């Protein structure tokens, strides 16, 4: 009887294994928020996977309609339009996003600042610049920048920019936030695993359909087809900022398209910054902040923040990393 029970139990286990659902990875690339997005989901079938992706796209589009500076009807555009005139009542979602952005500005001593949008666009990285702007022009360009000037009324849920010409923009945090929200939405729908890549702002959950971990490569800015090291991204996010595509050179000096909002001058000394953290929103903002702060100050700051790590590749193509990153610099 005991032997029969063992055989029956083994048969039941085999039956259960045979009935286990097989999942597939479904991927789709598209343009959203003015940039390249790629969404991968692990689903029971291709049909369900594409439905999940379409739902994620709807969520990202909703966020874009809220934070876009190009959409004249967005809440962000209304705040900018009423600068120096009236406070604007906004949704709790946008109010909270601005609060978190300002907190990052405090942590980074203004290296990250959503009022960077107030800067006059003196620097152009499309090949049309013949000479750098003057020091006076640069000083004037940042005269209306400063996150501490944003007036927020918690009870009324309003945002006010007190000076005409002030603007806010979410170019250095918006894609990461959208990726996070799309991820949360898909998880709420029961999607067991996936990856959202918002033009370098990447977030993952679960595993691949094969059960393998999601992996990202730290690329060589001087040869993008080569990888310094592969690192697993487990229930986490990554964002990379680089100056290898948008920059100008004057008198042999390379100037990045990433501008210090405190000074109006382009950053120097770094080729790329890759941030690892739980949320893509934080990765997105911190990648910009470290670029602005510089290698030493940026890594020192990241080492003080739990759950956040950084890999910096300097202008001489040397790798530097925070204390929690475990790979050999000589790879």
SS3 of 153-189: ECCCCEEECCCCCCCCCCCCCHHHHHHHHHHHHHHHC
Q: Between the CA of residue 270 and those of 75, 251, 274, what are the distances in Å?
A: 34, 18, 11
Of the chain, the end-to-end C-alpha distance in Å amounts to 61
Q: What is the DSSP string of 244-298?
A: SSSEEEETTEEEES-B-TTTSPBP-SEEEEEEEES-HHHHHHHHHHHHHH-HHHH
Residue 274: φ, ψ to 5°: -120, 125
- Enumerate domains of the chain plus CATH numbers: 24-59+181-321 (3.10.520.10), 75-160 (1.10.3980.10)
pTM of the model: 0.89
β-pairing, 151-153 vs 193-198, is unpaired
pLDDT, tens digit only, all 331 positions of the chain: 444 444 444 444 444 444 456 899 999 999 999 999 999 999 999 999 999 999 999 999 999 999 999 999 999 999 999 999 999 999 999 999 999 999 999 999 999 999 999 998 888 888 888 889 999 999 999 999 999 999 999 999 999 999 999 999 999 999 999 999 999 999 999 999 999 999 989 999 999 999 999 988 776 666 666 676 777 888 899 999 988 778 888 888 888 889 999 999 999 899 999 999 999 999 999 999 999 999 999 999 999 999 999 999 998 989 999 999 886 554 4
Unique residue bearing structure tokens 């097989």: 22
User: In angstroms, rounded to a whole number, what is the distance separating the alpha carbons of residues 109 and 103?
Assistant: 10
Please tell me whether residue 197 adopts helix, strand or coil conformation.
strand
- Name residues whose C-beta falls within 8 Å of residue 243's C-beta, 6 or more positions apart in sequence: 221, 254, 256, 257, 258, 267, 270, 271, 272, 291
C-alpha closest to that of 57 among 196, 199, 204, 237 = 196
User: In angstroms, rounded to a whole number, what is the distance separating the alpha carbons of residues 108 and 106?
Assistant: 5
Rg of the Cα atoms in the chain: 23
Quick one: tokens of 24?
Answer: 């597939």
């Amino acid at each position: 009887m005991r032997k029969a029970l063992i055989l029956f139990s083994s048969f039941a286990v085999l039956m259960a294994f045979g009935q286990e659902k097989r999942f597939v990875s479904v991927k789709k690339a598209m343009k959203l928020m003015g940039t390249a997005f790629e969404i991968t989901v692990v689903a029971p079938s291709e049909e369900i996977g594409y439905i999940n992706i379409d739902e994620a796209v709807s969520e990202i589009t909703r966020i874009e309609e809220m934070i876009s500076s190009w959409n004249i009807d967005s809440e962000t555009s209304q705040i900018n339009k009423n600068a120096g005139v009236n406070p604007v009542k906004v949704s709790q979602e946008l109010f909270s996003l601005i609060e978190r952005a300002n907190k990052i500005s405090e942590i980074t001593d203004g290296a990250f600042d959503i009022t960077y949008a107030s800067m006059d666009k003196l620097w152009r990285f499309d090949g049309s610049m013949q000479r750098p702007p003057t020091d006076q022009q640069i000083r004037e360009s940042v005269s209306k920048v400063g996150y501490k000037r944003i007036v927020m009324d918690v009870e009324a849920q309003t945002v006010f920019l007190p000076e005409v010409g002030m603007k806010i923009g979410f170019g250095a945090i918006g894609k990461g936030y959208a990726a996070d929200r799309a991820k949360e939405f898909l998880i709420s729908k029961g999607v067991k695993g996936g990856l959202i890549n918002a033009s370098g702002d990447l977030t993952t959950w679960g595993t691949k359909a094969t059960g393998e971990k999601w992996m990202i490569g730290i690329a060589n800015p001087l040869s993008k087809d080569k990888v310094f090291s592969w690192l697993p991204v487990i229930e986490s996010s990554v964002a990379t900022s680089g100056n290898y595509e948008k920059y100008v050179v004057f008198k042999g000096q390379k100037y990045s398209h990433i501008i210090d909002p405190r000074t109006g001058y382009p950053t120097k000394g770094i080729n790329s910054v890759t941030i690892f953290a739980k949320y893509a929103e934080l990765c997105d903002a911190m990648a910009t902040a470290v670029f602005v702060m510089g290698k030493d100050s940026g890594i020192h700051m990241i080492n003080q923040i739990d759950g956040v790590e950084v890999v910096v590749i300097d202008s001489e193509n040397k790798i530097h990393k925070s204390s929690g990153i475990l790979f050999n610099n000589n790879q």
